[in-house]
Each structure stands twice: as C-alpha cells, then as structure tokens.
Structure 1
Amino acid sequence: MSALPVSARLAWWGTAWMRGRLGPDEVVDAVHGDDVTHVVASSDGPSSLLLELAAARNHGADGVAAAFPAPGDPAGLRGPRELTAAAIEAGEVVLLPGTGLVPRQVGRAVEWQALPAERRPPPDLGDADRGLRAALLTAANALADLDVARWQPLVADELHDLRAGVPLVAPPGTPTRCVDLAARALHLEAVVALALRDEGGALSARDAAVRRASLEPLERAARHALTAACSPDGWPPPADDTGQR
C-alpha cells in the first residue's frame, strides 16, 4: 500500500467507505500511513478528510477519483486554472464533485488544499491499459536500438517484462484489473525514473536526448493509466469485472 501515492490511497479507500465496504477508521489508517495527521484547508476553515468525504456522499457521490497531471499534460482534469496549476505542481489531486483536494507534505503531516473543480469525463480504463502496453513496446524497441542492455541491464529486463508490477494492497470492491493496472503503471514510472537518473557518460548528447524522448511517452502513459485505475467513475460495473476484491 505504501507504494501508492496518497491521492490514490484516498481514492481507493474513500470509495470503499462511500460504498459501505469498510469503516472510517480503516480509511484514516490507510490514507495516513506513517503521517501524523491530515488536514483539509479551505475558504470555510480547516476540516478533516472524513468530513469532506461525508459531505460529498451526502450530496450523492459514491466514489472518489484521483488524477496525476504533469506540466503540459493535465491528465484527468478539466480545470479551472487554479486547480490545474496546483495539481500539476503537486503531481496529484483528489477529485470530489465540485471540489479538488491537492496534497502537500508538511513535515509528517499532509495539508490538502480544497479548490473548486470542474466536472471531467471519466477516463476509459481499457484505453489507458492499451495505451500503457503500446507505449511500453514502443519505448522498449526504441531503447533496444540504443543498446539499453549495455548501459543499464536492469532497465532492459524490466521494460521487457509486461507482467511486472509493484505489489499493492487494495480495499474491498476495487476491481482487480484496476489494481493490476496501477501496479504496472507504478512499476514503469519507477523504471523510467531509474533510466533517466543516469544519462550514461559514454552516450553522445544526441543519444541521451533520444533516450529521454523514448521514455517520456511511457511516463505519460503510466500516469494516465494510474489516473484511470484510480477513477471509479470509469470503473466497470461489478457484474462486468470478475476480479472484484
């Protein structure tokens, strides 16, 4: 569970609570992790995550979504500008009806900034999965031409293993295909970070630029996949997913 970004934890466990699959203490324990506390800061004053979730549920919400945008790619967001800018800076955001919660680590605490959010169309889980697989194959082939096995054998091995994923724990009701997709997305994000950490002193500047250009679409696809896996508004109905947990 610790491998999941905090927004993903709030999306999965918050959704499970809204749908009556677990209690509030389980949500707090899962989302807080090793943090001392989490506080929501809004124009109405400080609040708690559970109060925000309860208010959303009272207004008809039955799920909590998360998005993972980056500069030039506001994945899973529709605005307004203030929310998009804050979410891009943080690299993640939780979406409730009409509200976005942007996390910021402050020592051993997390402050969530509450901002108005526009409704966005739900991500397509199947499209995100296919996009991640296609980006992985493209990146692996491109890096093979650069002899990735010579400069980083571990990266070469990990890129060619389509089944590899970060071990994750998920709450009841999270579709297995979403857990699997999130695990592969987080794994590939880590592989991309590893590959870009060492530019390889023996490479030419051109080869280093080509390597980076080959990996950036994979990192983008991984963020889109994680967004889809953490967006219950785009999940299949329970009857259509035989791997419900």
Structure 2
Amino acid sequence: MHPESPVCRVLVVWGNAWLAGHVGLDEAADRVESAGGPTVVGEVPLREHLAVLRRDGLSELRLALPAPGDPLGLSGPPEFNAAAVEAGQAAIAVLSDRRLGLVPSPDRRGSSYAGVRLSVYEAGPVRHDLPSLAEAEQELSAAIRAATESLDSADGPMAGRPERLGAAGGDLAPGYPSRAHRVSALAARLATVLRLAGERGLTSGQVAVRDAALRELDRAVRRALLASCHAILEPSPDRS
C-alpha cells in the first residue's frame, strides 16, 4: 500500500469514534471504504470483521506510521513490523487479551475491482512512549520553523506555504477535540508539501540542506498525524 494512502488513519479515527459511541458502525466502515475502496480483512468484509472484534473485546484502535529507521507506533513482533514498514502504515486493534496488527495492501480483482485487503498479524503491546497531542503540536511547529528557515533561501518546497494547500486525509471524526482537528489538518497539508518536494527533485547544490530539513519535517508530520488520531484516547486535560 502506498504510504500516502490514508486508509489506516481513517480506520483508526472513525473506528475509535465508533467505539466511543459518536458514530455508527456503518458510517465508520463507509468512511474507510471511501478512502480506499471496498475493504476486506482476509476475506471478511470490514463491517463484519469490526463487529466480531468488538464482540471479542475490541476497546481501541492505534495507528502506526513507520518509516525505515523509525518504527513509529510499532512494538513487534518482527513479522508485523516488517510488513508495516513496507506498507508505511498499520492499524493495531487492542482487544482484552491480545492485539492484532492490520496491514493494508491493494486488492485488485479483474479489470474493474480495486479495493483494500487488510492482512492480520499478531501485534506487540501498546507503546506508551508516543507523543501526546500537545507534544506533537510543539514538535511540528518547531520543525516547520526550522524547515522554512532552511528551505526559503533555496526556493525550496516550503515556498508554496502549507496553508495554501488542501488538507486531504486530515479530516477527523466526531468526538475528537478541536486541537486534534487543527493539528491533523496542518500535518496533512505538510504531508502534501513533502510529497510535492519529492516529485520536484533536488538540484545538486540543494541536496544536503533539503534532505536534512525534509527528513526532520517528515518525522514531525508523522508524529503529529499519529498523535491527532490518538487524541480521542487521551485523558481529558490534553483534549483542549
């Protein structure tokens, strides 16, 4: 699955909103399928699988947005980590007695069917060293300032200014705090900036400066997206 696909973010956001009672199962599943097309878990339709997981004690969904050398949100085992890093994303279903990792891949059948297949793996314990929403927002602001200073003089990709770009993939579900909506929208715009930067390519004189700036910005964007998707799970003092 291309890392730019929002399918796991949408699954975590709308799945947690469903578990918290803010939306129904049908709406949550519809949102996931609007992001990636018809979705199956193994061979089971997504709606049916989520319903079964809830009967088995599903309490929350967690997001992983790993990159090579930065397994953000992952805690093993190696088979799940490797699949998630290759996909650039994963969702983790937290049940009462175990955790299941869901890793997306394209599901194409014939010439007209295009959807998403989620493969299921055993997953490790929930990580508690991930950034809170407040921490991720501070990190993102600092990374934006640093990247802007580094790239503006070189007419880099930040010259497009993220506030003028759309925020595709940044929408959250009902029940999320306003700060999470703000951070998610900004992180989604910056993800677009990073994608455009890669498409434009780098001149030889800009490689070192841009590579370092964009690497740090990419890390901050992924951490902000992950924190905003988990904000509905945070204690109330951080949900401003």
Q: TM-score range by the shorter chain?
A: 0.7 to 0.9
Structure label with greater radius of gyration:
1
Query: Which position in structure 2 is the counterpart of 1:126?
Result: 134
Alignment of 1:133-152 (within 5 A): 133-144=141-152, 146-148=153-155
Query: Which position in structure 1 is the counterpart of 2:177?
Result: 175
Q: Deviations over 1:31-59 (max 9, x none)?
A: 10165521112xxxx33333443344334
Query: Which position in structure 2 is the counterpart of 1:25?
Result: 26
Query: Which position in structure 2 is the counterpart of 1:210?
Result: 209
8 Å contact kept, 2:133–2:231: no
Query: Which position in structure 1 is the counterpart of 2:118?
Result: 112
Q: How many residues align?
A: 225
Query: Which position in structure 1 is the counterpart of 2:93?
Result: 96
Displacement, 1:232? 4.8
8 Å contact kept, 1:65–1:233: no
8 Å contact kept, 2:26–2:47: no
Aligned: 1:82 with 2:79: yes
Segments of structure 2 that go 5 or more residues without pairing to the other structure are: 109-113
8 Å contact kept, 1:37–1:110: yes
Segments of structure 1 that go 5 or more residues without pairing to the other structure are: none
SS at match of 2:13: helix
Displacement, 1:100? 0.6
Identity within the alignment, %: 35
Amino acid at match of 1:172: P
Query: Which position in structure 1 is the counterpart of 2:226?
Result: 227
Distance 1:184 1:121 in 2: 24
Distance 1:198 1:36 in 2: 29
CA 1:169–1:192: 2 relative to 1, 3 Å? closer
Aligned: 1:47 with 2:55: no
8 Å contact kept, 1:199–1:208: no
CA 1:101–1:236: 2 relative to 1, 3 Å? same
Distance 1:34 1:94 in 2: 15
Displacement, 1:136? 1.0
Distance 1:113 1:188 in 2: 29
1:198 to 194, 197, 200: 200
Distance 2:19 2:143 in 1: 34
8 Å contact kept, 1:129–1:181: yes
Query: Which position in structure 1 is the counterpart of 2:159?
Result: 156
Distance 1:8 1:165 in 2: 17
Larger deviation, residues 47-56 vs 14-23: 47-56
Q: Deviations over 1:193-233 (max 9, x none)?
A: 21232235xx4x24223212221110111011111111257
8 Å contact kept, 2:65–2:89: yes
CA 1:169–1:198: 2 relative to 1, 3 Å? closer
TM (norm. structure 2) is: 0.83
Indicate the structure whose relative CO is greater, using CA pairs within 8 Å and at least 6 residues apart: 1
Q: Deviations over 1:60-110 (max 9, x none)?
A: 443212121111111011111111111111111011121110011123111
8 Å contact kept, 1:164–1:184: no
Distance 2:138 2:105 in 1: 32
TM (norm. structure 1) is: 0.81
SS at match of 2:60: coil
SS at match of 2:206: helix
8 Å contact kept, 1:65–1:232: no
